[in-house]
């Protein structure tokens, strides 16, 4: 009798969980996203889920969707070997349409702790963990070839990133989804707890999503990586790669109000656009140079 009761309760809990996920997916798909055309092939989407109606919480989400053709709007990496700059300063310096914060970095001394190569020159090398293993944010990369961006997965070798043929490489992670298969994430606090998040996703039609989720505020809770994985799936991405998040999470667009900062960075602990954190590198969207 107890076994039957336990089985029934387990089925109920499973069904309730599935219902919750289905309701959340419908909430995302049916949301009335605020859309703005930023440039040719670049569209900004924004929505504030302010009724605790996404993962039972308030969530503020902003993302760019970009046609990944290598024409008109092209991708690039902005990086400094040791210096830290705000995402907006990187974008302005490199005359970009838009910029989003990049990978993990040394807050005290500057520079990335993960491999970065820009225009064929290595800017930073991997700093391995004390046991000699790679960090989870060193097991995938974005690569850019002729202005087109893609995601690559670590092949298990020690010199993988240095052998990548692309001139522009930026390691990041964890990898969330790869070719329509969700990656297995461990249950560390970094993955389980809600934080502001930055993510890059690629849809089956090749279009790229650069996304921020705000957090650490009653207006937006932030997401776990398990929740972020679901969100990117619901937005249509076949592959998705987590970037550095937390106080680093920033989406900037040239010429927009509030100095171009679209989301609500948290370093000043205020719900405004003034809390940018300085970072080591960014992913840029630029206009194609005249040929």
Q: Tens place of pLDDT for every residue, the chain, 291 residues? A: 544 443 443 433 444 445 456 889 999 999 999 999 999 999 999 999 999 999 999 999 999 999 999 999 999 999 999 999 999 999 999 999 999 999 999 999 999 999 999 999 999 999 999 898 999 999 999 999 999 999 999 999 999 999 999 999 999 999 999 999 999 999 999 999 999 999 999 999 999 999 999 999 999 999 999 999 999 999 999 999 999 999 999 999 999 999 999 999 999 999 999 999 999 999 999 998 765
Q: What is the spatial order of strands in the sheet that 116-118 belongs to?
A: 121-124, 116-118, 168-172, 140-145, 148-153
283 alpha carbon, distance to own chain's centre: 10
30 in any annotated domain:
no
SS3 278: coil
Contacts of 215 by beta carbon, 8 Å cutoff, 6+ apart: 194, 195, 196, 197, 221, 222, 223, 245, 249, 266
> How many whole angstroms separate alpha carbon 291 and alpha carbon 284?
20
3 in any annotated domain:
no
Contact (CB, 8 A) for 97 and 253? yes
Q: In sequence order, what are the beta bridge partners of 157?
A: none
pLDDT for the residue numbered 9: 35
22 in any annotated domain:
no
User: Can you give the residue range of the structural domain that contains 186?
Assistant: 35-287
Q: What is the spatial order of strands in the sheet that 281-287 belongs to?
A: 73-79, 281-287, 98-101, 251-253
Tell me the DSSP string of 2-47.
Answer: HHHHHHHHHHHHHHHHHHHHHHHHHHHHH---EEEEEETTEEEEEE
> How many whole angstroms separate alpha carbon 126 and alpha carbon 109?
15
Contact (CB, 8 A) for 65 and 98? no
Half-sphere exposure of 107 (CA within 13 A, CB side): 6
Residue found under tokens 């790679």 = 134
111 in any annotated domain:
yes
pLDDT for the residue numbered 12: 39
1 in any annotated domain:
no
23 in any annotated domain:
no
49 in any annotated domain:
yes
What is the count of structural domains for the chain? Answer: 1
pLDDT for the residue numbered 91: 98
77 in any annotated domain:
yes
């Amino acid at each position: 009798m107890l076994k039957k009761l336990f089985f029934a309760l387990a089925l109920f809990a499973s069904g309730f969980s599935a219902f919750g996920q289905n309701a959340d997916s419908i909430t995302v798909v049916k949301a009335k996203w605020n859309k703005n055309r930023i440039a040719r092939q670049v569209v900004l989407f924004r929505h504030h889920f302010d009724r605790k109606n996404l993962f039972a919480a308030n969530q503020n989400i902003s993302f760019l969707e970009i046609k990944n053709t290598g024409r008109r709007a092209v991708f690039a990496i902005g990086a400094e070997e040791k210096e830290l700059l705000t995402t907006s300063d990187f974008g302005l310096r490199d005359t970009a349409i838009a910029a989003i914060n990049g990978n993990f970095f040394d807050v005290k001394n500057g520079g990335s702790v993960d491999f970065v190569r820009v225009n064929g020159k290595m800017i930073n090398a991997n700093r391995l963990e004390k046991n000699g293993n790679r960090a989870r944010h060193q097991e995938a990369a974005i690569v850019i070839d002729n202005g087109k961006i893609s995601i690559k997965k670590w092949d298990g070798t020690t010199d993988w990133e240095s052998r990548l043929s692309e001139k522009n490489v930026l390691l990041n992670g964890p990898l969330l989804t790869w070719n329509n298969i969700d990656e297995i994430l461990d249950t560390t606090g970094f993955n389980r707890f809600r934080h502001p998040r930055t993510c890059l996703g690629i849809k089956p039609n090749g279009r790229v999503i650069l996304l921020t989720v705000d957090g650490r505020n009653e207006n937006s809770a932030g997401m776990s990586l398990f929740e972020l994985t679901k969100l990117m799936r619901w937005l249509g991405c076949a592959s998705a790669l987590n970037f550095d998040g937390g106080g680093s999470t920033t989406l900037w667009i040239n010429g927009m109000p509030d100095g171009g900062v679209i989301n609500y960075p948290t370093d000043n602990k205020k719900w405004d656009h003034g809390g940018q954190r300085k970072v080591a590198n960014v992913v840029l969207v630029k206009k194609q140079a005249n040929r």
